[in-house]
A and B are shown apart, each in its own frame.
Chain A
Amino acid sequence: MTSKPTVGASSRSTTTTSTTTTTAPSSAALESSFNSLIDNYRSTTPARVKLIDVFLLFIFVSGVLQFAYRVLITVYPFYAFAGGFGSTVGQFVLLAGLRAQVAPGRDGEFKQVSQERAFADFCAASVVLHLFAFNFLG
């Protein structure tokens, strides 16, 4: 943080050395905090939540790709887009709901709901969602 004004002032005389020496600690700190974040995630997050996160990431990427395709190439037929995109968005929402119910620290809000119950809800809702989505595809 404090090194930045120094870089700006000494930019004429000291060029490369000063920048490397000043940024190195901050990037190292960032890297270490990032590493600790990943380590923490790896060690404390339950395997099922990790699974949910992978699925969420996949759906997110799929949704972004579809939207890019819709904008850049074609939206015809619109129902197919509505089906495909609706399926990803719906699945994302349901999955996020499941994550909120099963992730650690949920007890404050979802004390009454067991993990099994949450998963059963999720499965039922997903099946209905997929039926609708495939009907829309045309």
Chain B
Amino acid sequence: MRPTSLLATPLLALLGLVSGRSATGDRVLVVLEEAVSKDDYSKFWGSLKERGFELTFKLPKDKDTELSKFGEPQYDHLIMFAPTTKSFSPSLNPKAIIHAQFEGLNTLYLLSPNLSDTQREHFREYDIEFVDPKYTLLDSFSYVSSSSPSTVLLPPTSSLVPNPAVLSPITLSGGPIVYPKGTVHTAGLNPYLFEVLHASKTAYVGGEKVLTGDEAEVEKVVGGKGSREPVISGEKAALVSAFQTRDNARAGFVGSGELLSDKYWGTTVKTLDGKSVETGNADFVTDFTKWVFQETGVVKIVSSTHSRAGETEPREMYTKKDDITYELTLAQHITTDNGTSSWAPIQLSDLQLDFTMLDPHIRTALVEDTNSTNEVGTTYKARFDAPDRHGVFKFVVEFWRPGWSYIRSSSTASVVPLRHDQYPRFITGAWPYYIAAISTSLTFLTFCALWVSLGEADRDRKGKKKVE
């Protein structure tokens, strides 16, 4: 067993390098409900296969689907395209998925307005609340002309949230994104959740019925006195959100599954003013799935070390006021031009180090070290004097930004006072004091000698005194 596995490991690693571009793995489980036609999304599946993913298609109620077998995850990523499904097989129900996410499963949820209640309940775990089933996103000023106002055209500059970890510059400056018959959600205060795409200013949430100039009608539909729900419109209407746990498992929520369909994948559509524009859907979906499937925005710690100035090895103990150097090497996951997975340097400007004993005693910037000889990644360096305080300290680096992997590095070292024989002696500045003490002693000795010798001379007078 052992020798074979030893042989297999480098082989597997090699395979992984060749085929997979994801930092974690390339096995994708796609759960499609019966209402969704697989052929309508052939370009999307094709793009995933081209990127080196192995797709396995299952139905929500397939009994033989197992996310993890004997404690081993069977899939690295999951595409959940079953918005209207009410019940799942036990291995695919929300509880099982959340459990698998703790093990590192990345999930892409493709949704639609007719979400089942079980799914709504499930999404509340991520602090995402969806609008009522009968509502979709509408925009009377910007939609595909051949279709209804529910096929919203979103200009990328005003609706995408620019995040360099998730979206590439091509997508941000590309064509408009078609958002057909999509639901809308509002994101809560969960700090692990962040928006990727929201509606533009003229879009609002409403029933399929398009509003006309009739004011009473508008009042009735969009939140008049009788309406209980607040109206969601413009930037408040989140369409695509992303979620990343502290273990760096990722989840993406796309409010409209049809956004990925062949109909809008690299095609041209007509806007209301008659212009033909190429859709940005393909670029956007590619960027977003790259992020969800751990291809972009993945940062790892290559090494971290600390040492005293002039030394190379880390110490367990530093003395007060020691000159300490801390180095952290980070690498970013990239896909090389020939399609392999690789690690590259990463430029960050807001990295900082805490030297902590309960509270950070020193908080200093980690600056890129251009003289570093590290083979992989970028080395960041901080140099500081140990505080005049002894105790057990930790070097802590925490980097937590939306889209980027959560990085935390912590290593422990003690700061001790000087040993009794380590204090400096014969300090130049203290020589006057030394000379004073020595001269006093020498003068004392001279004084004693003179006193004794002078005693002879004084004796006569004293003797006379006594006689008198």
Contact = CB atoms under 8 A, between A and B. Distances in A.
Given A84-B436, A88-B436, A91-B440, A76 B451 contact: no
B434 interface: yes
Given A46-B458, A47-B454, A74-B429, A87 B436 contact: yes
A100 interface: no
A66 B436 CA distance: 8
B427 A77 contact: yes
Given A46-B461, A81-B430, A138 B436 contact: no
Contacts of B451: 48, 51, 119
Contacts of B440: 59, 62, 87-88, 91, 130, 133
B433 A66 contact: yes
A55 B447 CA distance: 8
A123 B441 CA distance: 11
A88 B437 CA distance: 7
B434 A84 contact: yes
A48 B430 contact: no
A133 B437 contact: yes
B433 A81 contact: yes
B461 A62 contact: no
The residue in A46, A51, A77, A84 that gathers the most chain B C-beta atoms within 10 A of its C-beta is A84
A73 interface: yes
The residue in B429, B430, B439 that gathers the most chain A C-beta atoms within 10 A of its C-beta is B430
Contacts of A77: 427, 430
Contact of A83 (B437, B450, B461): B437
B436 to A, nearest CB: 4
Contact of A51 (B433, B447, B461): B447
Interface in A16-65: 46-48, 51-52, 55, 58-59, 62-63, 65
Interface of A is mostly: helix
Interface of B is mostly: helix
Counting contact residues on chain B (CB < 8 A from A), the size range is: 20 to 34
A110 to B, nearest CB: 15
Given A47-B457, A48-B451, A138 B429 contact: no
B276 interface: no
B429 A76 contact: yes
B423 interface: yes
B417 to A, nearest CB: 15
A62 B439 contact: yes
Interface string A99-132: 0000000000000000000010001001000100
A29 to B, nearest CB: 32
A64 B234 CA distance: 81
Given A77-B427, A126-B444, A87 B454 contact: no
Contacts of A130: 437, 440-441, 444
B455 interface: yes
Contact of B433 (A47, A84, A119): A84
A80 interface: yes
B441 A48 contact: no
A83 to B, nearest CB: 6
B36 interface: no
The residue in B434, B437, B447 that gathers the most chain A C-beta atoms within 10 A of its C-beta is B437
A96 interface: no
A55 B423 CA distance: 34
B8 interface: no
A80 B450 contact: no
Contacts of B96: none
